[in-house]
Amino acid sequence: MIKKIILLLGLPGSGKGTQGAILSNELALPHISTGDIFRKMILEESKDSKKLAEYMNKGKLVPSDLVNKIVRKFILSDECHKGCILDGYPRTLAQAEYFISYIDTKVSVIYLKIDDDVVVRRILGRIICTSCGKLYNKYFDKPNKEGVCDGCGANEFIARDDDDKDTILARIEEYKKETLPLIEYYKHKGKFFTVNAGKSKEQVVNELASIIKKI
Ligand code: AMP
């Protein structure tokens, strides 16, 4: 049986990717980010890549039957036998219901709460190291040495295809319509924690450190 599942909920740009990677390191649990999995599938031109890109580039959610099929395989793999940090899944009530049908572990939910205008500014500055995938922000969270990745020393960074303003606004709309109802849903299931994700990265890291002691 899978032992520990931590689910990160929050608007795009609320810090799920950054905090998920830190938690994964601290808890020695894999960080399963559906967005990262799908972006990799698109780059590798796998069977479903065209369909994934079609939705993602418009800021729309990928249909749940396809998402569920892909993610279930990851969560039930040996890599996740001790548990995992889930970032970006479940993202709709239908996905949450499907998830419960094959996972009987109680989940702990961390909700990274943040205002829309803050995430728009954050996402527009987001850049990623092409070599190791480390995330930065060209306004708030630059590499220590200009143009050089702190993680691997590479010097090439890109923005995500879906990080332009129109797509961000569409993703925020999708979040409000499809994902926000999950907050109420999970408040009554397992453990639920709310974090003020508008604070600095370090402050959020500290808050999460005290939360994981209670999980
Ligand atoms: P993210 O990296 O989590 O912001 O996800 C990027 C994009 O991937 C989203 O805008 C969706 O198009 C797609 N995506 C990621 N996770 C899901 C999910 N659980 N359900 C549907 N679409 C998803």
Structure confidence at residue 105 (pLDDT): 87
Structure confidence at residue 189 (pLDDT): 87
Can you spell out the DSSP letters for 75-95?
Answer: HTSGGGTTEEEEES-S-SHHH
Q: Is 56 in the pocket of ligand 1 (CB under 6 A)?
A: yes
Structure confidence at residue 202 (pLDDT): 92
What are phi and psi for residue 39, nearest 5 degrees? -60, -40
CB 127 within 8 A of CB 137: yes
CA distance 15 to 31: 13
Please report the atom of ligand 1 found closest to the CA of residue 58.
Answer: 12
Q: Is 204 in the pocket of ligand 1 (CB under 6 A)?
A: no
CA distance 158 to 124: 12
Give the C-alpha distances (Å, rounded to integers) separating 124 from 24, 72, 199. Answer: 25, 31, 18
Residue with tokens 């938690």, as numbered in its chain: 23
Give the C-alpha distances (Å, rounded to integers) separating 131 from 105, 107, 143, 175. Answer: 35, 32, 14, 29
Cα angle value 147/40/155 (rounded, 5°): 10
Structure confidence at residue 43 (pLDDT): 93
Structure confidence at residue 106 (pLDDT): 86
Helix (H, G, I), strand (E, B) or coil at 26: helix
Q: Is 5 in the pocket of ligand 1 (CB under 6 A)?
A: no
Structure confidence at residue 69 (pLDDT): 95
Structure confidence at residue 161 (pLDDT): 86
Scored b (16 or more CB within 10 A) or e, 45-84 reads eeeebeebbebbeebbbbebeebbebbbebbeeeebeebb
Q: State the DSSP code for 152.
A: T
pLDDT tens digits in sequence order for the chain, 215 residues long: 678 999 999 999 999 999 999 999 999 999 999 999 999 999 999 999 999 999 999 999 999 999 999 999 999 999 999 999 999 999 999 999 999 999 988 899 999 999 999 999 889 999 999 999 999 998 888 999 999 999 999 999 999 988 899 999 999 999 999 999 999 999 988 899 999 999 998 999 999 999 999 98
**Is 121 known to be catalytic?**
no
